[in-house]
Structure 1
C-alpha cells in the first residue's frame, strides 16, 4: 500500500525492546507526514498487524522473537497490498543484508543511525518503490553478496513462466496475487541468478537450462 501525496504514511514498528520501540514511536509521531498505526514485540504479532492495519511502511527488528526475520518478512510481503519494509539491526551483517534485500526489504538501518537518517530512510522507501536504502557501514556495503547463482526458486519460476507467456508485470501480479513491485524484485533476482539483462534473455536461458519447458509458448514479453 502506498500513501498518496499529502497523506501521512501509515507505519508499524516491530521491535521487542520496549524502550527502543517507544522511542521510535515518539520520533515518528512528531512528524506530520508519519502516522504510527501499530506496535509489535513479536514476529507473529507484527505480521498480524500488517494484515489488520495495512501500513505503508514497517520498521522490522531483525532479531525479534518469532519465526525469524526472513520468514516474518516473507509473510509481510505476501499480503495482498504489501508494505515497504525497513530492517532495523544492531549488527552490520553483510550476509543478512543480502538475504533480506533479496527477499524484498527496501532498507537496512543500523540502530546506531541518527534520528535524521531513520526518518530519511522511512520517507525514501515510502516515496520510491524502486529505491533501496542502506544505513550501514561502508565496509558492510563492500561485502554484500550477490544472490546465489543456480536454480531459481519456485516463486521465481512461477513469475518467469508467466512472463514467458507474454504477461506484463501487472498481469503477473494479478495472477499470483502479489504487488507489481514484488514482481519487479523477483525479475531483478532472476536476472542476477541467470546473469542476463532482459526478459527474453532470461526466458531463453531458463529454457536452455531446462528450468522452463522448451515448448512454452512465448508472446512478446510485457513490461
Structure 2
C-alpha cells in the first residue's frame, strides 16, 4: 500500500557500481522514492544509515567488510527505524533464514521486475509486520521445512555440509567450488558455525561438532 503523501528515503548498499546506478534510476522514476546515499561495503552502509537515517536500506549480502548479518544487527541497534530489504543474486534458503533472523523485512532476488522492487521498498517503509519474499518455490519449501524442523541455534543443512568439508581440510576456495557457492558465502557459513558451536577456529569447530555427533568422528581427526 502506498503512503498518502510521505516520501520514502532509500539507501543503496551494493559493491557493484553499475548495479547501483540501475537501481537508483529505477527508484528515481517513482515519485514516492528518493535515494539519499550509496555504499559499496559493509562499514560504509552502516555509517550511511547512521548519518542519513533512511526509511529503507537496500542491502546486498556479499560486499567487502562485515557480512550482511553484522550490518543488519548493527542497523537494528543504531538505526531502529530503518527497515532493511535484502536484494541479492542468491536464491538460498539458508541465507533467507539468516537475514530474516537478523532483522531484514524482505528478501528479493535480483531477477525481480522494477514494479516488484518498488512495491517491496514502499511496503518495507510502512508499519506492516509482513515479511516479503521473492524466491523460487524450491527455496521457499526448503525454508518452511527448516523452520519446522531446525531448533534455534542448530546447524542448518548447508552449514553441516560446509563443516564436513572443513573437517576434510579443504580450503574455503575448495569448499566453495565443491558446493558451487562463493568463497564469501563459505566464510559467512563458517562465522555462523563458530557462533552456534562457540568455537574459536576451524579445528575447534570440527572437534566440537564431532564430539556432539554432528559429523563423523573420523572427519574431525582429519583436520590438524
Q: How would you bin the TM-score normalised by the shorter chain? A: 0.5 to 0.7
Q: Gaps (5+ residues) in structure 1?
A: 152-223
Q: How many residues align?
A: 149
Once the two structures are overlaid, the 10-residue window that deviates more, 128-137 or 91-100, is 128-137
Give, in whole Å, the separation in 2 of the partners of 1:12 and 1:80. Answer: 13
Normalization by structure 2: what TM-score?
A: 0.63
Q: 1:17 to 1:149 in 2, by over 3 A?
A: same
Question: Alignment partner of 1:6: what SS?
Answer: coil
1:116 aligns with 2:92: no
Deviation of 1:128 (Å): 3.4
CA RMSD of aligned residues (A): 1.8
Mapping of residues 1-223 of structure 1, within 5 Å: 5-144=4-143, 145-146=146-147, 148-149=150-151
Give, in whole Å, the separation in 2 of the partners of 1:99 and 1:76. Answer: 15
Give, in whole Å, the separation in 1 of the partners of 2:16 and 2:72. Answer: 19
Give, in whole Å, the separation in 1 of the partners of 2:27 and 2:101. Answer: 27
Deviation of 1:82 (Å): 3.2
Normalization by structure 1: what TM-score?
A: 0.63
Q: Give yes or no for contact 1:59–1:85 (8 Å, CA) kept in 2.
A: yes
Q: 1:150 to 1:86 in 2, by over 3 A?
A: closer
Structure ranking higher in helix proportion = 2
Question: Alignment partner of 1:78: what SS?
Answer: helix
Give, in whole Å, the separation in 2 of the partners of 1:57 and 1:65. Answer: 21
What does the per-residue CA deviation read over 1:54-79, in whole Å, with 9 as the maximum and x for residues that have no partner? Answer: 00000000111111110011111111
Q: Which runs of 4+ in 1 moved over 3 A?
A: none
